[in-house]
Chains A and B, each alone.
Chain A
Amino acid sequence: MFKYLFAKNEDIPAGSAAVFFGFSSIVWFVVGTAIGSFNAAKLAFPDFVMGSEILSFGHMRQVHVLAVILGWISMAFAMAMMYITPALGNTKLWSEKLGVWNCFLWNVGLSLGLFLLWLGVTSGREYSDLPWPIDIVVIVGVLVPLGINVWMTIKTRRVQGIYTTNWFFGAATFMVIIVFSVGNAPEFFQLTGLTEAYLTWWFAHNVLGLWITPVAAAIAYYVVPKVTGNPLYSHRIGHLHFWSVVVFYSTPAAHHLMSAPLPEWLKSFASVEGVLILVPAIAFVSNLLLTMTGKWRMFVENIEIKFTITGVMMAIPLNMQGGFQQTRAINWYVHGTGWMVAHAHLALLGFSTFLEAAAVYYGLQTLLRRKLYSLGLANFHFWMLLIGFTTYWVAMTIAGLIQGAGKIYEVPYIDVVIAEHPYMIARWVGGTMVFLGNCVWLYNMWMTARAGTVIPAGRLPHELAYER
């Protein structure tokens, strides 16, 4: 990678940036889930690794969260953008060199930011924990170069229209820059009080709603038609999805603070807009599942489709929860409980991770021109993720309902802690399965790059049979 940083743009092989991003994302996924498993062990067994400030739960929790969001998920997005955007425009990435630099700065900036967070250098704001100098690195070194590359690649495309996936990519890279800049304004400009509290959750909401969810969906819009060979069921429904994300998903930020003393009109508005999340959700899920018509066999036989469609189907419970848990009628019961932790993992480890994993599996095979090393290991990875995640989600949902009941019946808090203990152990077991699965994935992808069957020119990876 380093030799390409100072090479001429023409001398860098096409796809290099995407390959670097792909492997970086997998490494960050392994790191992020390792820390997640470590943290979960501490919640089950509080004296597990003690006496050290930097290894305490309060220092490690935010490192886990940001390693998976900015490392795994966002780098997998960058990887997807850097091969899908040119592929859909029948062109090359606008600047391969910018892409390589982007990947380099991203890894350096994120490592530095997480190291500082680990030491306790934090802004004290959930999801925007990074201190503001690192926020500037993220905006200038990570988000803006990515955006420029995506927009310019779309602009220099050699086809007339712009496919659904690229609307999402182009719009999301723009929106995430706005979200990151405005969301960190409390640190840049020393904003205080409820403005700070509200902007913290405005950021947290919109980084999910305008970055993670639409980009993950955009990946599915590419992978399913590409691998199955079916055209997208309906571009009009795709339009409905896109516009309803922009209009409905960008507005309900205040529903994260339903019990805080924010202006009541803001909370009511956010709550109503929050239910409308079902519009893009239903448009997305129905469009993708109908695209599968006649090809459902591939859900079983093809690893990329298996991951993608599992992720798409997880969008159903995700948005059913998301739409309704934030209404006043339900929020008072589940707010601040493990239910929310389960929901957040359903969004990031369920829905979005499965879609990104498909993009990384498919993209790395395409770019390296190598067939996946082992289908068996890929299936093992899939089931470790799915069973591990499900264990986690079920355990945390039950724990959340216990906490909710404890909250309204005014049970002494320690009794809630005692009741939750078995679910904390289950959470740790589930999270550890995800981590172990990812280690296998990293090995499988590394071996694919070194020893995978070479894909002949003009063929697609999924057209070849596995040799192992």
Chain B
Amino acid sequence: MAFREYKVGARMFGLAFGSSMFITLYMPAVDIAGVSATTSALERQLAFGRVGGFSYEDPFLRGHGKPVTVDIVEDPKTGAAIEPTRAYVYPAEVPFPSGVRHPRILGELPSELSVSKGRMTDADEAQGAVFVVRETTRGGISVPYIENATATRGWTPAATLAKADDKNQAFIGKGKIMFVREGCWWCHTLLPEQTQDWQYFGAPPMLGDFNGESPTAFGSDRKAPDLTHVGSRNSSREWMILHFFNPRLVQPHSIMPRYDYMWGDVDADGKPIDYDAWRAAYNEYEAGKTIYPPEVPMPAADSEARALIDFVLNLK
């Protein structure tokens, strides 16, 4: 067969493209896979649940199949007083996060401790489980791990939920879905940059802060403040409620959209919300005809607004 230069070309192309893929896919994958999860990574995935975007359990991103985060001060089994503890309640059939399903991605020490000490792999999705993040020291270094409190302490999801009143329940997993679905991350990044920027928005994250989380939703186009540590800057739920309903109530120059539609049809007392009347009254206020803006309804416990505010306040 005669010499054909395209045959040489095709082989060179394979070599060039293959080398490029080796360097940009294989090498980073190996490097990133060797990173151990930090406490933050364990807390994040336990609070968020399996996926923060489209998934089997929640194809239309309504917040179904997500865990509830609770703060408790009594042992759900014995009723005895305990140190204030944050527990992640997975009722039956709620999918576990990636780190629980595949302990390997938590990194060497956290996965070993979560399995041996925390009995993480004893958890059963069909029964539900309650998880807690613990820390212990190994060779002088603090190592976080996941404890399956259902196995180690007999905390059932129902009993644990019953120990937390509405104020101590946070729908962070559902809130992350709202954050992704409503595209908050198109303007608010979740990544303080490793430059001067972090003096204003807080410390940039570390290599192991994301093991098990998807999507990370860092954002790329910052048209608004970074939110990575927003819960530490501003912990006022009332401010958040006003700001989400109509950002211009608290910041006249804001270009953030109104998220009033996330309140749904009724407020926290079950009264219907009349949006047209509210907007008309607000227009009067904005035009200077009235002194005070109309009252903002409190979001209902099962509303999307409540979940989103829980998520934002817990970005610390």
Instruction: Find out whether the CB atom of A194 lies under 8 angstroms from the CB atom of B217.
Output: no
- B232 contacts partner chain A, Cβ-Cβ < 8 Å: no
Tally chain A residues at the interface, Cβ within 8 Å: 78
- B193 contacts partner chain A, Cβ-Cβ < 8 Å: yes
Contacting residues, chain A, for B220 (C-beta < 8 A): 126, 256, 336, 340
**Complex CA distance for A51 and B246, rounded to whole angstroms:** 11
**How far is the CB of B80 from the nearest CB of chain A, in Å?**
36
**How far is the CB of A164 from the nearest CB of chain B, in Å?**
12
**Complex CA distance for A337 and B255, rounded to whole angstroms:** 16
- B195 contacts partner chain A, Cβ-Cβ < 8 Å: yes
Contacting residues, chain B, for A140 (C-beta < 8 A): none
Contacting residues, chain B, for A341 (C-beta < 8 A): 221
Identify the closest chain B residue to A257 (Cβ): B218
Contacting residues, chain A, for B21 (C-beta < 8 A): 178, 182, 250
Instruction: Find out whether the CB atom of B258 lies under 8 angstroms from the CB atom of A124.
Output: no
**Complex CA distance for A178 and B14, rounded to whole angstroms:** 12
**How far is the CB of A404 from the nearest CB of chain B, in Å?**
10
Instruction: Find out whether the CB atom of A408 lies under 8 angstroms from the CB atom of B32.
Output: no
Contact status of A250 and B191, CB under 8 A, knowing A46-B254, A261-B205, A340-B221: no
- A262 contacts partner chain B, Cβ-Cβ < 8 Å: yes
Interface size classification for chain B: 35 or more
Of A47, A56, A121, A336, which is within 8 A of B189 by CB?
A336
Instruction: Find out whether the CB atom of A131 lies under 8 angstroms from the CB atom of B53.
Output: yes
Contacting residues, chain B, for A44 (C-beta < 8 A): 255
Contacting residues, chain A, for B212 (C-beta < 8 A): 192-193
**Complex CA distance for A44 and B260, rounded to whole angstroms:** 19
Contacting residues, chain B, for A338 (C-beta < 8 A): 221, 223
Contacting residues, chain B, for A466 (C-beta < 8 A): none
Identify the closest chain B residue to A182 (Cβ): B25
Interface positions of B from 166 to 213, Cβ below 8 Å from A: 180-186, 189, 191, 193-197, 199-200, 204-207, 209-213
A351-385 to B contact mask, C-beta < 8 Å, 1/0? 00000000000000000000000000000000000
Instruction: Find out whether the CB atom of A120 lies under 8 angstroms from the CB atom of B214.
Output: no
- B73 contacts partner chain A, Cβ-Cβ < 8 Å: no
**How far is the CB of B185 from the nearest CB of chain A, in Å?**
8
**Complex CA distance for A125 and B35, rounded to whole angstroms:** 22
**Complex CA distance for A117 and B216, rounded to whole angstroms:** 18
- B109 contacts partner chain A, Cβ-Cβ < 8 Å: no
Looking at A7-15, A141-149, A197-205, the stretch in contact with chain B turns out to be: A197-205
Contacting residues, chain B, for A193 (C-beta < 8 A): 32, 41, 105, 210-214, 216
Instruction: Find out whether the CB atom of B60 lies under 8 angstroms from the CB atom of A119.
Output: yes
- B139 contacts partner chain A, Cβ-Cβ < 8 Å: no
**How far is the CB of A162 from the nearest CB of chain B, in Å?**
6
Interface of B is mostly: loop
**Complex CA distance for A6 and B62, rounded to whole angstroms:** 40
From A59, A171, A190, A254, residue with most partner B Cβ within 10 Å: A190
Of A51, A61, A269, which is within 8 A of B186 by CB?
A61
Contacting residues, chain B, for A410 (C-beta < 8 A): 196, 199-200
- B59 contacts partner chain A, Cβ-Cβ < 8 Å: yes
- A418 contacts partner chain B, Cβ-Cβ < 8 Å: yes
Instruction: Find out whether the CB atom of A262 lies under 8 angstroms from the CB atom of B28.
Output: yes
Contacting residues, chain A, for B31 (C-beta < 8 A): 263, 265-266
Identify the closest chain B residue to A57 (Cβ): B257
Contact status of A186 and B35, CB under 8 A, knowing A46-B255, A131-B53, A417-B255: no
Interface positions of A from 132 to 177, Cβ below 8 Å from B: 132, 162, 167, 171, 175
**Complex CA distance for A243 and B21, rounded to whole angstroms:** 15
Chain B residues with a Cβ under 8 A of chain A: 6, 9, 12-13, 16-17, 20-21, 23-25, 27-29, 31-33, 35, 41, 45, 50-54, 59-61, 98-99, 105, 180-186, 189, 191, 193-197, 199-200, 204-207, 209-225, 247-248, 251, 253-262, 275, 279
Subset of 11 A-B contacts with CB under 8 Å: A46-B258, A57-B257, A120-B181, A120-B182, A121-B61, A124-B215, A190-B98, A200-B216, A336-B220, A410-B196, A421-B255
A259-B191, A269-B23, A332-B195 known; 17 new pairs, CB 8 Å cut-off, are A46-B256, A56-B183, A58-B181, A58-B182, A122-B61, A131-B53, A132-B54, A186-B215, A190-B214, A194-B35, A246-B16, A253-B24, A257-B218, A338-B223, A407-B193, A417-B253, A418-B253
Q: Which 7 A-B pairs have the closest CB atoms?
A: A58-B183, A259-B193, A124-B53, A131-B54, A124-B180, A193-B210, A124-B215
